[in-house]
Amino acid sequence: MSGFLANKTGVILGVANKRSIAWACARALADQGMRLAFTYAGERLEKSVRSLAEEIEGSLVLPCDVTKPAEIDAAFERIGEEFGYLDTVVHAVAFAPREELQGDFYHTTKEGYMLSHEVSAYSLTAVARRSLALMEGRQGSIVTLTYIGSERVVENYNVMGIAKAALEASVRYLAADLGPRGIRVNAISAGPIRTLSASGVQGFSEILDHIAKKSPLKRNITAEEVGSVCSFLAGPMSSGITGTTIYVDAGFHVMGI
């Protein structure tokens, strides 16, 4: 297969269904010739991920609940056995209990705080550590997803904003640690997109309307636009970029009032 990611391999964590940003990233990487492994968290998602992965030739599907160290170990061991090496990790995993994404932030429970950070922030470091051996000497690239709620107050985003701030700081520290090994680490700050995660978020339609009205491009972004930037960050065109956050948000983040 030709394409600028031919003979490269990658793993995507966080596909739930065909609307997932992770799925758009997978399509973009596969379109450039990358061979992919997909992970799913819990049996509930296995069928959906397997049926999507079937669309991508030669792909691998593995369980990996990022709160279970043994599952992360096993997933990377299998990737090593099947692929022999790894070039790209796409971390598209986040979770917070629904009740935490509404009302006042100060009501955040300790349990909600800890769980959201474990799944959405710490997991990047947990996964990065396991990928090192497989990425050695291959100019690897680690890409994660974030949201502007990490740097500005976005009503209802609440504890996820704190977790995404920790995730973005983790990107910088990991970039410094892994740069000497040739591994780059970056985040994509995506504008709001109607995905499974967004479903049930109070007032999500109003957020989309606001972006369409106020952003420089006067529209919302698509998951495919995030996928394109993901393939750019995975490939050789971004060889000088690490530790940073790239906005795929129709320019919304530059606006004041």
Instruction: Pick the closer one to ligand 1JT by CB: 14 or 235.
Output: 14
Measured at the CA of 90, the angle between CA 88 and CA 94, to 5 degrees, comes to 160
One-character DSSP codes across 22-73: HHHHHHHHHHTT-EEEEEESSHHHHHHHHHHHTTSTT-EEEE--TT-HHHHH
Residues 6+ apart with CB under 8 A from 43: none
> Which stretches of the chain bind ligand 1JT, using CB under 6 A?
94-96, 101, 147, 154-157, 160, 192, 197-198, 201, 207
With respect to ligand 1JT, which residue has the nearer C-beta, 59 or 144?
Answer: 144
At its nearest, how many Å lie between ligand 1JT and the CB of residue 255?
17
The answer to whether 90 and 12 are in contact (CB under 8 A) is: yes
Shortest Å distance, C-beta 17 to ligand 1JT: 14
Question: Is 220 within 8 Å of 250 (Cβ atoms)?
Answer: yes
The first and second tokens of residue 82, run together, are 């099947």
- At its nearest, how many Å lie between ligand 1JT and the CB of residue 7? 33
DSSP 8-class letter at 78: H
What are the structure tokens assigned to 205, written together? 């339609």
Nearer to ligand 1JT, 157 or 252 (CB): 157
The C-alpha atoms of residue 13 and residue 53 are separated, in whole angstroms, by 12
Q: Tell me phi and psi for residue 186, to 5 degrees.
A: -140, 165
Q: Nearest approach, Cβ of 69 to ligand 1JT (angstroms)?
A: 21
Kindly report the length of the chain. Answer: 257
Considering 85, 147, 173, 247, which one is annotated as catalytic?
Answer: 147
* Rounded Cα–Cα distance for residues 179 and 221 (Å): 30
Q: Which residue do the tokens 């502007």 mark? A: 148
- Reply yes or no on whether 85 is catalytic: no
Q: Indicate the residue among 30 and 148 with the shorter CB distance to ligand 1JT.
A: 148
**Nearest approach, Cβ of 86 to ligand 1JT (angstroms)?**
25
Which residue's CB is nearer to ligand 1JT, number 52 or number 96? 96
The verdict on whether 122 is a catalytic residue reads no
Catalytic residue among 40, 106, 113, 157: 157
Ramachandran category for residue 61: left, alpha or beta (phi over 0 → left; psi -120 to 50 → alpha): beta
Nearest by Cα to 185 from 201, 168, 202: 168
Could you tell me the smallest distance in angstroms from the CB atom of residue 197 to ligand 1JT?
4
Which residue number, 83 or 252, has a Cβ lying nearer to ligand 1JT?
252
Residues labelled catalytic: 147, 157
